[in-house]
């Protein structure tokens, strides 16, 4: 049992990666659309590229969206409107009319005229309530059919134009009075009916909507059917009109049948295999080419999390409305990975993610071509992400690539630009703007996952930071030395294409451990007193060696990133404190070199190797007397060649050619420092 526990403990990192791999695979498969994939690709107006296609089963020909929308529009525009009638209102108005009429007209009016006026008023009431008076204004077409309901029972059918609105009462009064030649009494009648007439029609919206929905539900979504073994399309035949709609119907039927029948689990298993294969390729890439990343579970988690996040966001957008698919800023992925790792890992992860998204999005080939191209442009154009102008320029280039590629695809598909959807270009612009969100996203990731980007390195390179100010106050000579090393290291890194910002920051902080005992280091001994004179060689060597351990402790206390602490750990590698070692050998015959050796480790990257070279060269250059170009060349060659002989660069991925380039830079820089002229041959 103990052996099993010990074995699990020793392999806990691999077990974690396995669990992460399985969880990410199932989460992505869960997000995938619940349908199979039609095996044929076809486009409207293009020839059928595959063999003759016969119907594999009976299926209905589905109507196109345009046909269904047209039917819905026709039903909606011609659907009957339902109004409730209050019959008591008309009776009430007729009962109140005689008294109101008597009050409105004086007794001096001759009786024959009075009878005519009374009859005109009765006719006005009759005309107003023939169909009814509306309670409010409605913006319906006059030829819309109207059904009048009395207690929800159909009473009468008419057109909306026959219903009287509030603003039409005066017109009816005027019309009747003209008929009776009584226009001079218009003001009196208007005043009379202003208080008398009450609306008796109210629009029954809920019932109208219910009836409309019932009519819409009766729409047939299919027109005709295709029997099994019927020839659908021949090879080379242009796919258009009914052919296109039949193929779309077959595709829809095929996908729905595949996912709902007994082979559901087979399709699910197939999706799982594809996703697992893609993620496995990523893990194998990390293991073979990015070992340090692979061994760090936090970084592997970070990579898998970002891939899943992009799949999740894209799925949400596709489920909402697939026309917004290009608003999703997929290019944030290579940007983030390049900021924290490198361009090759960023591009590889981006391609894997786009391949996964190909199973989710419509027009998968077009989508993958655009996104992979945009990802390549992102990797090629975005450099020095901490410079804001670079990010804006790169985002502009990415957006332009999207627009150009989409335009080319559209022209290939449609054969013209007349029907191009210009709104898609707006989605690309929005995608570009969303990509600018990468800056705050990188900051958030740094805090969540403890990673370091060039933006953070730029902040750390500020010599006004608390730790570097403390170094300049406590150990001014060491601070000046660190600045010189930083300049040499940055120039060397630029020469061989290494991370110049990282190596500069590492150089600035590599000797912060000397703050603990600053006077024990020659660059800080301004009084001429050397405390080592009172110590043994072993004690002196121990103090010198301990500045590495002290530097690591100070760095951790000040929460410096591990990438920077690596420079503190490796800048002396496993080299020997040569001066005190030789001094000890003068006094004793047998001396253990391990007592005078730095704990290491040796440099394990180009950047840490560069720092070791530059640190040694800068420190030793102070001992040069009457330097010449020849002396400087020999000086640089001797120091770096000795480091190579000691095997200090065996773990660093740096080549002899790159070391030669670094030597050339250091010789040139030292010549400039000592203001030497080039020695021309006589």
CATH of the domain at 466: 1.10.3210
Residue 335 and residue 435 in contact, taking contact as beta carbons nearer than 8 Å: yes
Please report whether residue 188 resides in a domain.
Answer: yes
Domain count along the chain: 4
Mean pLDDT lowest among 147-156, 271-280, 351-360, 408-417: 408-417
Q: Which of 449, 479, 513 is the last residue of a domain?
A: 449
Distance of CA 490 to the CA centre of its chain: 33
Binned at pLDDT 50, 70 and 90, residue 351 comes out as: very high
Whether residues 210 and 352 share a domain: the answer is no
Whether residues 255 and 350 share a domain: the answer is no
- Residue carrying the six token digits 């600045």: 483
Residue 492 and residue 662 in contact, taking contact as beta carbons nearer than 8 Å: yes
In whole angstroms, what is the distance from residue 570 CA to residue 294 CA? 21
Binned at pLDDT 50, 70 and 90, residue 385 comes out as: low
Is the model's pLDDT at 282 over the cut of 60? Answer: yes
Name every residue whose Cβ is closer than 8 Å to that of residue 291 and which is 6 or more positions away in sequence.
none
Whether residues 289 and 184 share a domain: the answer is no
Whether residues 248 and 327 share a domain: the answer is no
Please report whether residue 197 resides in a domain.
Answer: yes
Is the model's pLDDT at 407 over the cut of 70? Answer: yes
- For residues 535-540, average pLDDT: 85
Residue 201 DSSP one-character state: E
Please report whether residue 12 resides in a domain.
Answer: yes
Distance of CA 413 to the CA centre of its chain: 28
How many of the other CB atoms lie within 10 Å of CB of 255?
Answer: 16
Instruction: Decide which of 250 and 611 is more confident.
Output: 611
Nearest Cα neighbor of 669 from 476, 490, 426 is 490
- For residues 137-146, average pLDDT: 86
pLDDT of residue 386: 62
- For residues 109-134, average pLDDT: 85
pLDDT of residue 655: 92
Whether residues 633 and 646 share a domain: the answer is yes
Binned at pLDDT 50, 70 and 90, residue 589 comes out as: low
Is the model's pLDDT at 608 over the cut of 90? Answer: yes
Is the model's pLDDT at 429 over the cut of 50? Answer: yes
Is the model's pLDDT at 235 over the cut of 80? Answer: no
Binned at pLDDT 50, 70 and 90, residue 34 comes out as: low
Please report whether residue 682 resides in a domain.
Answer: no
Q: What is the pLDDT of residues 292-331, one digit of tens each?
A: 889 889 999 999 999 999 999 999 988 888 788 888 999 9
Binned at pLDDT 50, 70 and 90, residue 246 comes out as: confident
Highest mean pLDDT (candidates 261-270, 455-464, 637-646): 637-646
Residue 245 and residue 60 in contact, taking contact as beta carbons nearer than 8 Å: no
Please report whether residue 681 resides in a domain.
Answer: no
Is the model's pLDDT at 106 over the cut of 90? Answer: no
Q: Which of 392, 416, 449 is the last residue of a domain?
A: 449
Whether residues 458 and 359 share a domain: the answer is no
pLDDT of residue 682: 47
60, β-bridge pairs: 225
Whether residues 467 and 614 share a domain: the answer is yes
Binned at pLDDT 50, 70 and 90, residue 350 comes out as: very high
Whether residues 24 and 153 share a domain: the answer is no
- Residue percentage of the chain with pLDDT more than 70: 91
CA distances from 299 to 52, 281, 336 (A): 51, 16, 12
Whether residues 445 and 492 share a domain: the answer is no
- Please give the full DSSP string across 55-74, using - where no structure is assigned: -SS-EEEEPPHHHHHHHHHH
Distance of CA 294 to the CA centre of its chain: 24
Is the model's pLDDT at 543 over the cut of 70? Answer: yes
pLDDT of residue 680: 44
Whether residues 437 and 364 share a domain: the answer is yes
| Residue 235, domain extent | 32-63+220-260
Instruction: Decide which of 8 and 224 is more confident.
Output: 224
Distance of CA 202 to the CA centre of its chain: 52
Residue 676 DSSP one-character state: P
Is the model's pLDDT at 4 over the cut of 70? Answer: no
Please report whether residue 68 resides in a domain.
Answer: no
Residue 381 and residue 394 in contact, taking contact as beta carbons nearer than 8 Å: yes
Whether residues 180 and 85 share a domain: the answer is yes
Instruction: Decide which of 75 and 226 is more confident.
Output: 75
Please report whether residue 69 resides in a domain.
Answer: no
Q: Which of 234, 260, 286 is the last residue of a domain?
A: 260
Whether residues 630 and 553 share a domain: the answer is yes
Instruction: Decide which of 490 and 193 is more confident.
Output: 490
Q: What is the pLDDT of residues 58-99, one digit of tens each?
A: 778 787 778 888 888 888 888 888 998 888 888 888 888 888
- For residues 147-174, average pLDDT: 83
In whole angstroms, what is the distance from residue 44 CA to residue 156 CA? 50
Mean pLDDT lowest among 165-169, 323-327, 673-677: 673-677
Instruction: Give the CA angle between residues 546, 550, 552 to the nearest 5°.
Output: 120
Please report whether residue 680 resides in a domain.
Answer: no
How many of the other CB atoms lie within 10 Å of CB of 471?
Answer: 23
Token pair for 29: 């498969």
């Amino acid at each position: 049992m103990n052996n099993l526990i010990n074995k699990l403990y020793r392999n806990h990192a691999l077990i974690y990666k396995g669990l992460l791999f399985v969880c990410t695979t199932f989460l992505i498969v869960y997000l995938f659309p619940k349908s199979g994939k039609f095996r044929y690709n076809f486009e409207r107006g293009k020839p059928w590229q595959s063999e003759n296609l016969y119907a594999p089963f009976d299926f209905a020909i589905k109507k196109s969206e345009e046909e269904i929308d047209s039917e819905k529009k026709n039903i909606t525009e011609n659907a009957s409107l339902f109004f409730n009638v209050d019959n008591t209102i008309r009776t009430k108005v007729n009962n109140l009319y005689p008294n109101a009429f008597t009050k409105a007209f004086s007794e001096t009016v001759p009786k024959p005229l009075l009878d005519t006026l009374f009859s005109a008023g009765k006719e006005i009431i009759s005309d107003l309530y023939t169909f009814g008076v509306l309670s409010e204004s409605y913006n319906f077409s006059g030829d819309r059919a109207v059904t009048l309901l009395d207690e929800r029972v159909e009473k009468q059918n008419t057109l909306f134009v026959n219903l009287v609105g509030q603003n039409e009462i005066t017109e009816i009064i005027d019309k009747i009075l003209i008929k009776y030649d009584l226009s001079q009494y218009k003001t009196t009648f208007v005043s009379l009916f202003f208080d008398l007439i009450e609306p008796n029609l109210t629009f029954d919206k809920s019932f109208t909507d219910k009836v409309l929905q019932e009519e819409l539900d009766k729409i047939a979504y299919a027109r005709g059917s295709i029997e099994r073994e019927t020839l659908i399309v021949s090879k080379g035949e242009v796919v258009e009109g009914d052919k296109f709609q039949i193929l779309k119907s077959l595709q829809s039927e095929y996908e729905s049948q595949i996912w709902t029948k007994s082979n559901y689990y087979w399709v699910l298993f197939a999706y799982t295999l594809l996703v697992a294969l893609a993620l496995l390729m990523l893990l194998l890439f990390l293991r073979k080419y990015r070992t340090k990343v692979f061994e760090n579970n936090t970084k592997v988690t970070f990579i898998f999390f970002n891939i899943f996040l992009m799949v999740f966001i894209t799925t949400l957008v596709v489920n909402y409305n697939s026309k917004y698919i290009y608003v999703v800023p997929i290019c944030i992925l290579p940007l983030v990975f390049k900021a924290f790792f490198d361009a090759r890992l960023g591009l590889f992860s981006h391609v894997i993610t786009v391949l996964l998204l190909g199973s989710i999005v419509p027009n998968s080939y077009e989508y993958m071509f655009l996104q992979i191209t945009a990802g390549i442009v992102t990797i090629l154009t975005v450099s020095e992400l901490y410079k804001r102008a670079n990010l804006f320029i790169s985002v502009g280039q990415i957006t332009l690539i999207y627009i150009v590629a989409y335009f080319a695809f559209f022209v290939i598909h449609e054969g013209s630009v007349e029907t191009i959807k210009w709104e898609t270009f707006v989605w690309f612009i929005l995608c570009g703007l969303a990509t600018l969100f990468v800056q705050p996203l990188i900051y958030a990731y740094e805090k969540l996952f403890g990673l370091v980007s060039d933006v953070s390195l730029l902040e750390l390179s500020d010599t006004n930071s608390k730790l570097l100010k403390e170094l300049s106050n406590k150990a001014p000579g060491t601070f000046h030395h660190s600045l010189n090393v930083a300049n040499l290291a940055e120039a060397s890194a630029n020469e061989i294409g290494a991370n110049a910002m990282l190596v500069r920051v590492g150089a600035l902080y590599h000797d912060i451990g000397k703050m603990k005992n600053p006077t024990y280091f020659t660059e800080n001994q301004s009084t001429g007193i050397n405390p080592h004179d009172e110590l043994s060689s072993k004690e002196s060597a121990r103090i010198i060696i301990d500045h590495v351990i002290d530097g690591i402790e100070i760095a951790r206390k000040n929460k410096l990133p591990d990438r920077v602490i690596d420079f503190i750990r490796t800048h002396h590698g496993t080299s020997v404190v040569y001066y005190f070692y030789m001094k000890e050998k003068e006094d004793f015959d047998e001396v253990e070199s391990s007592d005078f050796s730095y704990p290491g480790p040796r440099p394990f990257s180009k950047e840490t190797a560069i720092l070791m070279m530059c640190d040694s060269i800068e420190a030793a250059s102070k001992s040069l007397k009457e330097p010449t170009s020849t002396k400087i060349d020999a000086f640089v060659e001797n120091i770096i060649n000795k480091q190579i002989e000691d095997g200090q660069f065996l773990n660093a991925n740096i080549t002899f050619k790159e070391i030669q380039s670094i030597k050339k830079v250091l010789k040139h820089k030292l010549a400039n420092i000592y203001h030497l002229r080039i020695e021309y041959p006589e």
